[in-house]
Chains A and B, each alone.
Chain A
Amino acid sequence: MNHQTERLYLYPVWIRIWHMTNALFCLILIITGLSIQFSNPGTVVKFNAAVSVHNIAGIILTISYAAFFLGNLFTANGIFYVITVKGFLLRIKKQFYYYTIGIFRREEPPFPVNDEYKFNPLQQVTYVILMYVFVPFVVLTGWGLLYPEIIINSFWGFSGLDLADLMHITAGFAISIIMCVHIYFCTIGKNPTSNFKSMINGYHESH
């Protein structure tokens, strides 16, 4: 069995469970978050309900993130997130070329998935920024907003609470955008649904 062209078991159970939890609660958080942000009497989700659901989902997402974080500290999966410095820009360029031009010319992807490189360079850098910058930001500021008394009163003339709020919605917005792009890019696989199946059965199907 040639694993280059066939099925490759890439996503162990814990990652799939984490991914599903993460996806589900991110969606809930985005919907309730938008509902709170643009609340007005008469919005679809009732304000109090939106706040409660947002809080609970936030707590669950924190637990799920902690699992992801610890998993990537101590299991082999963490290696996929280690960015190789040498030739970094060149690889990014290659991948960018593939997504903008190559893909339409039916060229082969420059960095096919294998058991050493689960992510292509653009994916890798996006996931690192997402999971190690934006998500920690949104989680920390979220807890700050949940318990405002722990927030610093003022920071360079800004109210600490306002600043936390601003960072929270900005990071939340960035995550939402990345999520849109992420879902779309998942349709770029052997066929449009194969990557979604991979996250259920754990097997990656190569081109």
Chain B
Amino acid sequence: MVYKANIRPAWVVLVLLMLFTLAFTLVKTSDTSPVTKKIQPEQEKPLKIDLSKFKNAAENETCLKCHGQSKYTYENPESKKTVTKRMYSELVMNRDVFYVSNHREFKCTDCHSEDYAVFPHAGNLRMEAKANCIDCHGGDEKYAKFKFEKIETEFQASVHSEKHSEDFTCWMCHNAHTYKINARTNENLKETIIYDNLICLNCHGDIKNYQLLTAKTKPNILQKHEWLPNQASHFTNVRCIECHAKNEDTLVVAHHVVTKNQAVRKCESCHSKNSILYASLYKYQVSEKIQKVGFIKGILMGESTSIGPDKSNILNTISLVVFCLTILVIMIHAFFRIKK
């Protein structure tokens, strides 16, 4: 009489499946993406900035006492009344954002005219030209590694520059008051991706900004990308510029944005051994070891950039060896069976 554990494996699997579903539902409901919380650096909760740490902060306050908030107050010299007015939103500088930005040590008049010291500001000051990145950063050894000249050349060749000529400046995407280096320093790849994509969406997803340069009605990005499978995943895991700009692996952030007809449309451009994603950001992240890849993860995932393609050489080698051994054993076995 043999003892039978009289349980069909299918029942065991069924129970495990139900437990898995339950656990999955519980984890999923408590699973909030860390990315969504931090995606908009310019809208972060106010930091307690200690202004005394910044050598120009006191001087800057003469500007920021009006431009640091949504309203400003002055005395009308004729009526002698105190007047409170609203500050136009694009003229408001958020101290919390400015003092963590790359240009935090600057004083306002480093870039803006000294004549702004007079209130009301003279009308012609509005015509003041805004400095572009290359104006300060060009030809400077200290900034050589950021390749501003290369960025400028790429940008000049881009569809942005060609279509809009002088109207399209660095400022369209980068505000010098808030700009903070990101792609080169952020350990969280996903944050960098979303940060970069928000720059594009600032115009391509917002009709107010989009129509500053064109009379075209709002492009529907979701509709235009309907052909893209798993759209949401692609939008949050891939930068727009990976497909819409010519990537050169010497630049972390490509600036040579191309027309939509030249954009990458083939799946295997990324999902392949020679993925274009291996250039630019991902290459930089791996080579500079910015992303902390654990030992096990390194072995399992290799230099993983996209789902699908051949990525981990160690696993590939192991599977090839296992496969060859299996075939070899089968052949030997078959040989001796036939020989008998």
Contact = CB atoms under 8 A, between A and B. Distances in A.
Given A149-B232, A184-B330, A36 B271 contact: yes
A73 B294 contact: no
A99 B334 CA distance: 11
Contact of A82 (B6, B31, B315, B322): B6
Contacts of A158: 297, 301
B330 A181 contact: yes
Interface in B1-59: 2-14, 17, 20, 24, 27-28, 31, 33-34
Contacts of B24: 152
Given A47-B266, A81-B8, A166-B300, A38 B31 contact: no
B268 A39 contact: yes
Interface residues of B, number: 54
A29 interface: no
Interface stretch (B166-174, B241-249, B305-313): B305-313
Contact of B10 (A81, A103, A161): A81
Given A82-B4, A165-B308, A103 B337 contact: yes
B5 to A, nearest CB: 5
Contacts of A38: 273, 309-310
Contact of A184 (B34, B308, B333): B333
A136 interface: yes
B301 A73 contact: no
A145 interface: yes
A162 B309 contact: no
Given A132-B13, A148-B230, A181-B326, A48 B333 contact: no
B259 interface: no
A73 B11 contact: yes
A180 interface: yes
A79 B13 CA distance: 15
A44 interface: no
Nearest to B301: A162
Contact of A85 (B5, B269, B323): B5
B109 interface: no
Contacts of A81: 8-10
Interface string A57-84: 0000000000001001100001101111
Contacts of B11: 73
A200 B69 CA distance: 81
A187 B268 CA distance: 39
Interface in A92-120: 99, 103-104, 106
Nearest to B13: A132
A2 interface: no
A152 B3 contact: no
Contacts of A69: 10, 13-14
Nearest to B35: A153
A47 B8 contact: no
A117 to B, nearest CB: 11
B233 interface: yes
B280 interface: no
Contacts of B6: 82
B20 to A, nearest CB: 8
B209 interface: no
Contact of B308 (A37, A103, A136): A37
Interface in B69-111: none
A160 B274 CA distance: 24
Nearest to B327: A180
A54 B177 CA distance: 50
Contact of A41 (B232, B233, B266, B322): B266
A82 B7 contact: yes
A11 interface: no
B336 interface: yes
A53 interface: no
Given A148-B233, A152-B24, 18 more contacts: A36-B308, A37-B308, A37-B310, A40-B274, A72-B8, A78-B8, A79-B8, A81-B8, A82-B6, A82-B8, A104-B336, A157-B294, A157-B297, A158-B297, A165-B308, A166-B300, A177-B323, A184-B333
Q: What are the 7 closest A-B residue pairs judged by CB atoms, nearest first?
A: A47-B268, A78-B8, A132-B9, A148-B233, A72-B10, A73-B10, A86-B3
8 contacts: A37-B309, A39-B309, A39-B310, A41-B269, A41-B272, A81-B9, A140-B20, A145-B307
Interface of B: 2-14, 17, 20, 24, 27-28, 31, 33-34, 229-230, 232-233, 266-269, 271-274, 294, 297, 300-301, 304, 307-310, 315, 319, 322-323, 326-327, 330, 333-334, 336-337, 340
